[in-house]
């Protein structure tokens, strides 16, 4: 850390102690909660387990070996065997814990060798997550012969129509574009055996409840339903009660927990100096792969413009960008052509980039739980990362709310010339 930065712990009385939400291991009714000790024991029991011990087929084990995977994450070790038995499942885990593989692996196992028809449907909140799930199916199903298509807006309609009418095994879709195809009878879900509601909390936050209800109404009620979510607010619990039959609930880590592989810092800074401080931090900390979150699309573009003037390769990703622009920005970021990706909360879920070293909250998120999802883009898959939050004077209250939710204070870092008093 540069010499002109001073780390100070927040005043203790700014943090209100909160009881850690009790963790769920497994249950037949959603309302029954186990003790945190049982959760810890369940997670500990998964350590050292190999994929070969989960009862997977040779095709799947070959695909996992090809991908370089031998040991499942805790959520995978607990969820995969239950899903293979056909149980409805509610998986709760923070971002970066391997939830996508926890449902793609058992679905592929179920579909291998079956008839060629659409038998699995996965609903996701964003285009980026849609693509990520499709890539997961392609990676783990490489020896299965199964066909998968992702369906989302912002791209050509006709290729999707052709693929859907031609017949695929798995459809991964955002609710809005899928409704369009259903209304035009481009796809039929008479044979759906498995439904996945991925990032259910985010889908509800984005107002997709009516579309979800409309889609699910067309599915066989005796299907298997898997719901995965980073948090379980009342709305998600209600959704689970409505669509899941006696679900087993698997939780890894306490609800709203931040990844323990991430180090957090808050930088007090006047709003008008944030762009200058951001460029200074990127240079002085030799940040390699940085994901910056802004509250608005205009703010993201403004930050990119300033960083480019400072000689820092950067790009913006938000809803005003075309799908082609968003795809290119993400691809360049993954390849290292762009050091900084500045995004609105469209990117807080669905970005699976293992090497992000820093997440910077240029604007403090409006909802405390959004902080967890944002910083979950770094410190993934047991790797470490840093989360920096630039806090203006009017954002102090929101930072304290985040600290209460996390159950611990976040160190303040004072940079000479940028703190409130300078």
Q: Is the predicted pLDDT of residue 11 greater than 50, yes or no?
A: no
- Report pLDDT for 70: 85
Cβ atoms of residues 240 and 227 within 8 Å: yes
- Report pLDDT for 128: 84
End-to-end CA distance of the chain: 20
- Report pLDDT for 382: 41
Residue 97 vs residue 166, higher pLDDT: 166
Cβ atoms of residues 83 and 249 within 8 Å: no
Measure Cα distances from 417 to 20, 104, 138, 265, 422 in Å.
Answer: 38, 50, 51, 18, 5
What are the extents of the domains in the chain? 5-15+257-415, 36-252
Average pLDDT of 165-175?
92
- Report pLDDT for 32: 37
Question: What is the C-alpha separation between 65 and 286, in angstroms, rounded?
Answer: 35
293, with CB counted inside 10 A (0-12, 13-18, 19+), is: buried
Q: Is the predicted pLDDT of residue 7 greater than 70, yes or no?
A: no
Helices 297-309, 274-284: axis angle to 10 degrees equals: 50
Mean pLDDT of the chain: 81
- Report pLDDT for 20: 29
Residue 172 vs residue 381, higher pLDDT: 172
Q: What is the pLDDT of residues 330-371, one digit of tens each?
A: 888 888 889 999 988 765 555 556 678 888 999 998 888 778
Q: Is the predicted pLDDT of residue 168 greater than 80, yes or no?
A: yes
- Report pLDDT for 261: 64
pLDDT category at 271 given cuts 50, 70, 90 is: very high
- Report pLDDT for 38: 42
Measure Cα distances from 261 to 88, 296, 353 in Å.
Answer: 31, 28, 15
Task: Pick the range with the lowest mean pLDDT from 27-31, 98-102, 303-307, 402-406.
Answer: 27-31
- Report pLDDT for 289: 86
Pairing verdict, β 412-415 and 5-8: antiparallel
Task: Pick the range with the lowest mean pLDDT from 152-156, 349-353, 387-391.
Answer: 349-353
Strand positions, DSSP E, 338-384: 340-343, 358-361
CATH topology assigned to domain 5-15+257-415: Rossmann fold (3.40.50)
- Report pLDDT for 5: 54
Cβ atoms of residues 247 and 30 within 8 Å: yes
Q: What is the pLDDT of residues 71-96, one digit of tens each?
A: 898 899 999 999 999 999 999 887 66
Give 415's strand partners.
5
Q: Is the predicted pLDDT of residue 125 greater than 70, yes or no?
A: yes
Q: Is the predicted pLDDT of residue 107 greater than 90, yes or no?
A: yes
152: Cβ contacts below 8 Å, ≥ 6 apart: 127, 130, 131, 173, 174, 177, 323
- Report pLDDT for 46: 53
Q: Is the predicted pLDDT of residue 187 greater than 80, yes or no?
A: yes
Average pLDDT of 169-183?
94
Q: Which DSSP letter does residue 19 get?
A: P
% of the chain at pLDDT higher than 70: 82
Strand positions, DSSP E, 134-241: 148-151, 170-173, 194-197, 224-229
Residue 258 vs residue 182, higher pLDDT: 182
Q: Is the predicted pLDDT of residue 282 greater than 50, yes or no?
A: yes
Q: Which residue has the tokens 């792969």?
A: 289
DSSP string, 138-159: HHHTTTTT--EEEE-SSS-SHH
Task: Give the pair of three-digit tokens for residue 190.
Answer: 């008479």
Question: What is the C-alpha separation between 292 and 374, in angstroms, rounded?
Answer: 9
pLDDT category at 217 given cuts 50, 70, 90 is: very high
| Phi, psi for 153 (deg, rounded to 5) | -80, 170
Closest CA to 317 of 299, 335, 307: 299
CATH code given to domain 36-252: 3.40.50.300
- Report pLDDT for 72: 92
Please report which helix (H) or strand (E) contains residue 292, including its range. strand 290-293
Q: Which residue has the tokens 């300078």?
A: 422
Same fold, 5-15+257-415 and 36-252: yes
Question: What is the C-alpha separation between 9 and 6, in angstroms, rounded?
Answer: 10
């Amino acid at each position: 850390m540069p010499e002109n930065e001073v780390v100070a712990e927040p005043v203790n009385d700014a943090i209100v102690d909160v009881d850690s939400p009790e963790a769920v291991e497994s249950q037949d009714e959603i309302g029954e909660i186990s003790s945190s000790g049982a959760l810890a024991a369940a997670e500990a029991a998964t350590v050292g387990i190999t994929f070969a011990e989960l009862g997977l087929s040779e095709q799947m084990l070959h695909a996992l070996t090809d991908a370089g995977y031998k040991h499942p994450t805790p959520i995978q070790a607990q969820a995969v065997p239950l899903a293979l038995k056909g149980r409805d499942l509610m998986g709760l885990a923070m971002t970066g814990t391997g939830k996508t593989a926890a449902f793609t692996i058992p679905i592929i196992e179920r579909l291998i060798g079956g008839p060629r028809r659409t038998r699995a449907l996965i609903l996701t909140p964003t285009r980026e997550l849609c693509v990520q799930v499709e890539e997961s199916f392609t990676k783990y199903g490489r020896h299965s012969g199964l066909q998968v298509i992702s369906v989302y807006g912002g791209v050509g309609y006709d290729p999707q129509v052709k693929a859907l009418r031609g017949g695929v095994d798995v459809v991964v879709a955002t609710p809005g574009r899928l409704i369009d195809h259903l209304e035009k009878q481009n796809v039929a879900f008479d044979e759906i055996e498995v439904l996945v509601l991925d990032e259910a909390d985010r889908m509800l936050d984005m107002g997709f409840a009516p579309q979800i209800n409309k889609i699910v109404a067309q599915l066989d009620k005796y299907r298997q339903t898997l719901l995965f979510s980073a948090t379980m607010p009342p709305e998600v619990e209600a959704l689970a009660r409505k669509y899941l039959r006696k679900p087993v609930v698997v939780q890894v880590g306490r609800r709203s927990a931040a990844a323990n592989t991430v180090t957090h810092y808050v930088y007090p800074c006047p709003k008008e100096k944030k762009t200058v401080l951001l460029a200074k931090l990127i240079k002085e900390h030799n940040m390699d792969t940085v994901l910056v979150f802004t509250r608005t699309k205009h703010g993201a573009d403004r930050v990119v413009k300033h960083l480019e003037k400072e000689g820092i390769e950067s790009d913006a990703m938000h809803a005003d960008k075309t799908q082609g622009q968003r795809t290119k920005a993400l691809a360049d970021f993954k390849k290292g052509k762009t050091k900084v990706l500045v995004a609105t909360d469209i990117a807080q879920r669905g970005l699976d980039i293992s090497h992000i070293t820093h997440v910077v909250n240029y604007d403090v998120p409006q909802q405390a739980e959004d902080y967890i999802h944002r910083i979950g883009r770094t410190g993934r898959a047991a790797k470490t990362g840093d989360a920096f939050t630039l806090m203006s004077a009017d954002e102090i209250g929101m930072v304290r709310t985040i600290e209460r939710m996390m159950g611990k204070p976040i160190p303040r870092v004072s940079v000479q010339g940028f703190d409130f008093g300078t």
